[in-house]
Structure 1
């Protein structure tokens, strides 16, 4: 019985991560700065529907979700969504390319911009490439229409972290109850 209980607890804990996707910290430990190499960073990650992007930045920066045209031309004044505050979590809800840039004057043109391609989790062979620093390249086309994903939180992702904590909490409560029932 104890082995079954341990197995069920492990399954519940492991299922929590797969149900909520992966949180990608943009720029890894360096965060969202004007010294980052976001093309290389994005190329080293696969972005799936259900994942999140975590932008961490200082008060002199921000995050704008922009169109491909605005990305190519470093126009941040037409933002689809705009975030400030030092921590921003963007939920990746739909497959297709997404574009981000810092709205601070001159930061986009010096490389503080990010292009990713979000793939469906059912995709067999996701590939993620990003544009080089020139303004004429773009992420690869996808099997679905290129649509912008609207982020659901502007508060740093607290609701996502709370949901994960609730699932883990329920798992820790329900697993022992199940053991006692057996």
Structure 2
């Protein structure tokens, strides 16, 4: 009886983890423009891109860029503001495309440290929250880039929200009570 109970518990935990992990969204930074120096002096391009998105823990940012032409550095807010990428970045990605999982709450700051690129607007700041996705993707934009595994129909958001986590926790709790 104990072996069956333990096997059932393991199955419930694994099913819960799979359920929660299927709800992470994948965002292609800059959509079809990718990660590049914005055209026409539009230094607010990436800020505008991020404005109507609700980034959650578990979501993935994909930075599409040509290796050798750009990079992605995660930096502090001070470095982001000053565009000085030489001050000990948190992480550096030199090979495109770079996939970065947003694995904590709070602000993330990214720049391209190629001279002149950050000051020309190739920088992105996102605020990662925990909770349900509150804003729908803007027309022509989706949380999942075209051809990226895990994309929902019409780029429908699928995020690791607190609601899914709460339901998973409730299911695990009920299973534990019934099995023990």
TM-score (norm 1): 0.57
1:54 to 57, 62, 75: 62
Is residue 2:65 matched to residue 1:65? no
Q: How many residues align?
A: 115
Deviation at 1:125, TM superposition (A): 5.8
Structure 1 residue 85, shift from structure 2 partner: 1.3
- Cα displacement string for residues 72-107 of structure 1 (whole angstroms, at most 9, x for unaligned residues): 111111211000111101111111000000010010
Equivalent pair of 1:49/1:95 in contact (CA under 8 Å):
yes
Partner residue of 1:35?
A: 38
> Paired residue for 1:176?
none
CA distance in 2, matches of 1:84, 1:73: 21
Q: CA deviation at 1:121?
A: 2.7
Give distance in 1, aligned partners of 2:81 and 2:58.
Answer: 26
Q: Find the aligned partners of 1:125 and 1:16 in 2 and give their Cα distance.
A: 20
Q: Does 1:120 align with 2:130?
A: yes
| Residue 19 (structure 1) shift | 2.8
User: Which aligned segments of 4 or more residues in structure 1 are displaced greater than 2 angstroms?
Assistant: 15-20
CA-based RMSD of the aligned residues comes to: 2.8
- Structure 1 counterpart of 2:173: none
Unpaired segments ≥5 residues, structure 1: 1-11, 127-160, 162-182
- CA displacement 1:126-146 (0-9 Å, x = unmatched): 8xxxxxxxxxxxxxxxxxxxx
TM-score by length of 2: 0.57
Pick aligned residue for 1:26 from 25, 29, 48: 29
- Tell me, in whole angstroms, the C-alpha distance in 2 between the residues paired with 1:86 and 1:58: 6
Any idea what SS the aligned residue of 2:80 has? helix
Q: For structure 2, which runs of at least 5 residues remain unmatched after alignment?
A: 1-14, 40-44, 136-148, 150-180
Whole-angstrom CA distance in 2 between matches of 1:125 and 1:45: 8
Aligned to 2:113: 103
